[in-house]
Structure 1
């Protein structure tokens, strides 16, 4: 944006005379610009290397002085940079006249809606700068040691103004490569504190991150997604005034900020004050050029004001009190276990004792770490669940780096990342979510049919459906709700820094109820709360409709399988229809042309989070669960049959993961391949995983079963649900807490960050399980587990037989109460 660089003036409180007859005459030759933008070719050593010239040509067009300016005008850019650096020179040289011009320029701020304390501190800084320049001018006449010593004392009183200037965001390296992070120094700004009057009041610095968004006319993605020369596109309409722009061009490109500048402001200014001051500057710049570039801007300031402390936030203090209460229960429950229950031989009497034991760390840890195996477990699901979660963390590790906009080589990475073959494991990480849908459908079907066969669940008994629906909701929601509360309260005060902001911008105030109803994949899509929990909405919705298919499989058997296949075909058909009609890519993949980014919002709401699209792996899971019940875990196959089946299975798995490599690398795909992958790509992965599980449980994959069913996976499997809920929040907390920009380099960096993310996520999941998940699980068993049988009139009965049905994974995965 040409006008955005007028904001640099604010960094030093300088002004430039925005007269309409003033022209900027600095430019670089085209050959010089090409030399600057010419990146060396490389293989796959890092994400800064490029083998094509498209990016260089696009960036070159951004900076050229011509009618084809797409984002930036180098003339204005250079002039504002010169004005920015002039402030310290003016003060140091005693250029009083120039500083008078600054004061005059900022006079109109008094007419804007800026608070009086903020204005007072802004002008205090300006007048201090002016006085410093006067002192420098007077010091030049000093010709003896006495006055020199006096002036040194005066200069020491004024030195803080240079700290303010030094903390401001400055032009970084690699702006030609898309570096839009002009951070400055958060720590330098926050340390500034100087007495400003005889009352002893202080001028304290606060760091403000300002983010600027351009009109869609200057959307940078056009340079990569358009098939024509972006320079030609811009030349054709460069002379249009704002009123002549098309409606699409007047829309705001708010997918990512085109510029981020750190400002050091007085802490008497609110976010609103800073926004009004900055708007004053960039609107003046746009007015001088008779053009419009910035459509929106946001400001996030961090300071040490008392009203921003946690102890002045009532909801946060209430939540802190709640957490202290829970930890107290854990302490007393553990002591009760060690000093009362254990000496009594493990006997627990009384309701209060049972409730207190729910929070025993000793008991809950033993349950989490239990590795005992019974004959009713599908052992391979332990490893499948954990490895699928690792794959999701693998993808999210880099997804949240990009979406947090804390990377200084984001565009290069987005374009270069898909070109490396092994990065398909990251690009295709969304397939791991299908693993959990499949496991959910498999366990729900397997357990329900098993209960129907042994008589512990009856289709005509209302209590069966109470157990199926209500218990499912009650077992999942407390963990979900507590994390939501922590994110919108205590997590806000965990850290600070130039990128820091609340994880949920709206603090879930507008859409929390949609999440708790598990409808957040249909409603409030523009105002999401904990966006990654779309999976829980889908899973709960599919769980609600699962009995239709499960009963059909149980009653109709082979005809039920036909019904399941028809439902699969319908889901794939709807997916293909919407994809072709709307022009969406065959999968939510990042390609070198960044196609998915341009349609991400629409693709997300119309396809990615809808249950009628995501139900295919769930249906496959239902079929596998039915097959395991039908075969009674015995399905002999000849060596030749096994060989052919495994070749087909691995071909399907390889196709689903790597079948779109050419598309991600080039952004080009044939119509036939597009249609085929849309129909069968994701389904192939579900069939591949479904076969592995079926083969493990029917004796056709003993070695794989020994690996996936190893005891080391059992505790990790139980913690997977908490790891799923926690890891996006933990990743964002880390990225937003950084004091410096992140820079993508090579594959080792990718592996290192992924390893740390898995370790931290499961470590936090273990603590969260002890705090809330295991107590909730034990409370559920305390309320709903059938009472011991007793004899009545000579007949042994069980009063709670019909409510014995457990949530999806209880009888199969000991201690695990959900399918994630």
Structure 2
């Protein structure tokens, strides 16, 4: 394997056109002469056919005194080059332009040397996992091909340079398998600069022919893939997306302008009034209120219509749903009605930042120069909280179950047990889907146009995944794809599919608890037990580790497919959330508890949570874990985590939260809490944009990751605010407007 890597490096840093020659690459001697003006006697070069062009002479002396030898080399290289590669399915134009490139190197034209210099070269740190040699993307593309008008030698003709990457899919070295997460490197990537007439297939044929010249013992398993930077015109999907975005922006502009004019008129009327009549803005209610029928993680609060709003016609109300002025005022409001679960805001915000922290490390893996350091990070005790950031998703499941159950229990109490089935499902679908689909509409067709560089995917990051499976996202079943890791569009949205699937079956538990507490508890107990048994059986039979990231990429993928994204594995915290919501409803957020009992429960919750987060510390430090222990951890950790967070919420809502409740209920977190759904949707896109726009790989350190995390967190919530104002808030306003018009008709 070491031989394969060295050969690949040698082949790719040399322009691949030499593969067509009958003899070894004779023009290499010319390049080395032209690129070095020093005396080269200390490093003579002899090829397999006995050529020795350097002959221990300086470059200048050689050029002046050995013209015959140079002309001989030129003849070997240029005169018959296109004839010799005609059998390789390489286009004539590509051959001629490459001939121009090589001839210009002989003449030492600056642009040709610039193209050559832009080639990727093996750096230090290969054994640390740096298998990407991008070269200089900008240097290649900025080369200005300029050939003297009187130059006819080698049929010189102008062309444009084009940056390409040659990728050799190779398995990680045996000695590195224990160091690289997943046990595999993505392949050896090397940047190269070619004439724009050379298509990826031309370059690949040349390189593959190079490989075939090698002994079969070392070339049999080497293959290559070529990706080139191409001109990207806007396709029909991108144009349609831009049109839809423009329509939204137009409505937002008109709605905001109309609202500002409306508010200005009200202000003038109030200023003219002499009696000081109070015409205050309507109060905003919080989206995590116990009085709400259902409160999912969304980007907006709710609003009680004022008299002035009631007097407006339907068209005016429609425009106002797009008003940034109005929607931002509601979102940024910190007013909370009685009965609000104030601690939810802090838990939701902190969980979202935890997700961003974990993804900062994971999503940057394609460009980390020193991948093997992750193994060292995992041995650090403090890093366990980052390595186990995935449990933050279970917190969201718990919150969702809690808010859905409590809101619907209150609604059932008001309607005397009547359940609005149609509205229940339509409301949820309408709240989640428009921003979800609109973000996807912006991301999939347009992402490819946002950047460039050696890491930038020319067809978009997930265009192949989403092209055939986007409707799985619309139906909220993308977590049931046969190979979710390779075919899931916007892979992080597996959470939304699980959440929707849990929501669909929630009435079974809610109605059972409402009409018969015993039946409800038994039903939830049966489902919870089934979840635990299923998780244990799958984990044991598949011999899966306790976490997704394994030294074997196949095992990691199986864990993701069979454990991580499946609803029958992840439902535990959601069911616990339903129970916590029921207890809050039944006890009306009031409970008398002995302080010693309270202290014991807090201690148990703390110890359990710490055990979940840091329980794998010994495993990460090389200590073996039996399969039974691994299966037990996989089976219990999510439900135990749900119980811990459930206790924190219950204690805070019933007056036993102390300083924890004070911190989690801080009013400044309310607007940020409302943005978590939008932040969850957009933060991976933002990370991809940053990482894939890099020109060179990054050296991962704690300091770098810390700065990236805070930058990502701030930008995620800023972009979430924009998405909320553009997509989420107008859709919520339209839902309310439709319901209002429907009530008036009745």
Query: What's the CA shift for 1:543?
Result: 0.9
* Cα displacement string for residues 308-355 of structure 1 (whole angstroms, at most 9, x for unaligned residues): 244xx3322332232222222211211111113551574452222112
User: Structure 2: how far apart are the matches of 1:551 and 1:480?
Assistant: 29
Does the Cα contact within 8 Å between 1:652 and 1:687 map onto a contact in 2?
Answer: no
Does the Cα contact within 8 Å between 1:90 and 1:96 map onto a contact in 2?
Answer: no
Q: Aligned to 1:553, which of 513, 518, 535? A: 513
Q: Which residue of 2 aligns with 1:176?
A: 127
Q: Aligned to 1:542, which of 485, 491, 502? A: 502
> How do residues 149-548 of structure 1 correspond to structure 2 at under 5 angstroms?
155=108, 158-195=109-146, 202-214=158-170, 218-220=171-173, 223-225=176-178, 256-285=185-214, 287=216, 289=217, 291-295=219-223, 297-303=224-230, 305=231, 308-310=232-234, 313-340=235-262, 342-343=264-265, 346-347=308-309, 349-402=312-365, 405-410=366-371, 412-455=372-415, 458-459=418-419, 464-501=420-457, 502-506=460-464, 508-523=466-481, 525=484, 526-548=486-508
Q: Secondary structure at the match of 2:699?
A: coil
Does the Cα contact within 8 Å between 2:97 and 2:195 map onto a contact in 1?
Answer: yes
Q: Which residue of 2 aligns with 1:63?
A: none
Does the Cα contact within 8 Å between 2:162 and 2:193 map onto a contact in 1?
Answer: yes
Q: Which residue of 1 aligns with 2:582?
A: 626
RMSD: 3.2
Query: What's the CA shift for 1:538?
Result: 0.8
Of 467-476 and 730-739, deviating more is: 467-476
Q: Which residue of 1 aligns with 2:15?
A: 13
Question: Between Structure 1 and Structure 2, how many residues are aligned?
Answer: 659
TM-score normalised per structure 2: 0.82
> How do residues 405-804 of structure 1 correspond to structure 2 at under 5 angstroms?
405-410=366-371, 412-455=372-415, 458-459=418-419, 464-501=420-457, 502-506=460-464, 508-523=466-481, 525=484, 526-588=486-548, 590=549, 594-595=550-551, 597-666=553-622, 668-745=624-701, 747-785=702-740, 799=746
Q: 1:447 to 1:220 in 2, by over 3 A?
A: farther
Does the Cα contact within 8 Å between 1:369 and 1:715 map onto a contact in 2?
Answer: yes
User: Structure 2: how far apart are the matches of 1:695 and 1:512?
Assistant: 42
Q: 1:337 to 1:549 in 2, by over 3 A?
A: same
Of 201-210 and 480-489, deviating more is: 201-210
Query: What's the CA shift for 1:567?
Result: 1.5
- Runs of 5+ consecutive residues of structure 1 not aligned to the other structure: 23-77, 133-154, 231-252, 790-797, 800-820
* Cα displacement string for residues 752-802 of structure 1 (whole angstroms, at most 9, x for unaligned residues): 21111100100100111111110011111111258778xxxxxxxx95xxx
Q: 1:510 to 1:372 in 2, by over 3 A?
A: same
Query: What's the CA shift for 1:577?
Result: 0.8
* Cα displacement string for residues 148-194 of structure 1 (whole angstroms, at most 9, x for unaligned residues): xxxxxxx5xx2322111100001212223332121111111011121
Does the Cα contact within 8 Å between 1:18 and 1:284 map onto a contact in 2?
Answer: no
Query: What's the CA shift for 1:628?
Result: 0.9
Q: Secondary structure at the match of 1:506?
A: helix
TM-score normalised per structure 1: 0.75
Query: What's the CA shift for 1:416?
Result: 1.3
* Cα displacement string for residues 603-644 of structure 1 (whole angstroms, at most 9, x for unaligned residues): 111111100001011111111111111111111111111111
* Cα displacement string for residues 550-573 of structure 1 (whole angstroms, at most 9, x for unaligned residues): 222222213322321221121111
Q: 1:785 to 1:294 in 2, by over 3 A?
A: farther
Does the Cα contact within 8 Å between 1:10 and 1:281 map onto a contact in 2?
Answer: no
* Cα displacement string for residues 437-460 of structure 1 (whole angstroms, at most 9, x for unaligned residues): 11111111111111111117613x
- Runs of 5+ consecutive residues of structure 2 not aligned to the other structure: 26-45, 64-69, 151-155, 270-307
Q: 1:286 to 1:602 in 2, by over 3 A?
A: farther
Q: Which residue of 2 aligns with 1:135?
A: none
User: Structure 1: how far apart are the matches of 2:252 and 2:47?
Assistant: 63
Q: 1:558 to 1:314 in 2, by over 3 A?
A: same
* Cα displacement string for residues 407-455 of structure 1 (whole angstroms, at most 9, x for unaligned residues): 2111x22321201111111110110010111111111111111111111
